[in-house]
Amino acid sequence: MGAPLDEPFVVGGRYAHLSWSSDEVLTDRRRTLSDIKAAIPPELFARSTLKSCLYLLRDLVLAISLGLGAYYSDSWLEVAGLGEAPTTAARVVLWGLYWWFQGLVFAGLWVMGHECGHSAFSSSKKVSDAVGFVVHTALGMPYLSWGHAHALHHMNHAHALGRKTEHVGHDVKMSESFPLLTEHSKEDDTAWESIKDTPLYLVPALVLQRLHSLWRAVTFQSRTFAHQDFIAPLTLTVLSLSYSATIVSDAGLLGVAGLLYYACSRIGVVTMCKVYFVPWLLFSFWISMAVLLQHTVSDDGGAPTEHREGQLSSMDRSFLGWQGKFFLHNMGHCHIIHHLFPELPFYNAPAATEKLKSLLGAEYRHCDASIFVVLWKITRSKA
């Protein structure tokens, strides 16, 4: 089992090699982690720095191309001379498509940094950490300190809602996002019951819940994302993380903040919001949503997995179909195999997952339901 959380967590290769026993029983059929690993071809565990870099290059080219295209799109539409109404309609469609796909590309880049944290990007720890630091820092994530907390998440056997180990946003309930409406509901239960399960309430509630969670995180109020544990050196006893690692993470974030400020001064705050900050919000939403759904067992918003349920208690989901496979590198489709073997490269995860399916049979947890339907049900359960 994982080391106690009140003891320093020491891992090799950042946190790829976790400390549970290979003989720990993981399924009802008395299979051990060693049994499962033996069923997966050894070549699937091979890490190719070249292949990882090519995937990273693909994502970077997509991000830059989309960003430049969006930046110049307004000028191109003006030159096209389509007329006021068609130009406005085209601008709305193009910017909407940009935000959607750039948010996915940002999320894919986050996944690449996540791979680096597990040393699945490269067999070289230095290469993995260098790439992961740059990619995650550019996305506003403190790579070194976040990585340590994420290791605790893996040690806690897929328990997403405990020990401050996940990404932005699972600690805000609907009552916190809509305090006035909730207070009113106490006075008029009939009115509350008539609207609480309708889109009139749930759609804005879902959006505001995500934004509220993000606000709590960046203002150090969140107790789950726990930026205070990630970027405040004097609170590191919670994560047993080195002072120097946090200082390096903080320095990187300050550097990115400076670059963003400079970009705003050159092209304007509004343009930067459209080109960078809106996709960043969507990226944060995708990652937060993925973490929540991957660690929620039932389709109807059932309780998140508990420590005792073990590594196999997370959930593979058809996350955004082909877009999740392409842009998010199968993050949602192959989550169980990742929890079992974090050092396994993402590009080999689909093949390893097929082996896992064959081995586990009915014990394999997978859901093909729309992630938006599932999220809707979870939202209703927290209303």
- Helices (DSSP H) in 118-223: which residue ranges? 125-138, 143-155, 174-177, 179-187, 189-195, 199-218
Residue 274 DSSP label? I
Q: Which two tokens stand for residue 376?
A: 């809707």
Q: Which two tokens stand for residue 159?
A: 């328990």
pLDDT the model gives residue 42: 94
How far is residue 4's CA from residue 8's CA, in Å, rounded to a whole number? 8
SS3 content of the chain, % helix, strand, coil (to 5): 65, 5, 30
The alpha carbon of 368 is separated from its chain's Cα centroid by a whole number of angstroms, namely 19
What radius of gyration, in Å, describes the C-alpha atoms of the chain? Answer: 22
pLDDT of the chain along its 383 residues, tens only? 333 333 322 233 443 333 444 445 555 555 677 888 899 999 999 999 999 999 999 999 999 999 999 999 989 998 888 888 999 999 999 999 999 999 999 999 999 999 999 999 999 999 999 999 999 999 988 888 777 667 666 666 544 444 444 444 444 454 454 454 444 444 556 665 566 666 666 667 666 666 666 555 554 444 443 344 444 444 444 444 567 777 888 889 899 999 999 999 999 999 999 999 999 989 988 888 888 788 765 544 444 444 334 556 678 999 999 999 999 999 999 998 998 898 999 999 999 999 999 988 888 888 888 888 888 777 666 55
pLDDT the model gives residue 305: 43
pLDDT the model gives residue 241: 53
pTM (predicted TM-score): 0.79
Instruction: Tell me the C-alpha to C-alpha distance, in Å, between residue 40 and each of 335, 346, 354.
Output: 16, 14, 9
Q: What angle do CA 303, 305, 308 make, to 5 degrees?
A: 130
pLDDT the model gives residue 313: 64
pLDDT the model gives residue 107: 96
How far is residue 182's CA from residue 175's CA, in Å, rounded to a whole number? 6
Q: Name residues whose C-beta falls within 8 Å of residue 79's C-beta, 6 or more positions apart in sequence.
A: none
Check: CB of residue 143 under 8 Å from CB of residue 117.
Answer: yes
SS in 3 state form for 93-116? HHHHHHHHHHHHHHHHHHHHHHHH
Q: Which two tokens stand for residue 2?
A: 């994982």
pLDDT the model gives residue 293: 82
pLDDT the model gives residue 144: 80
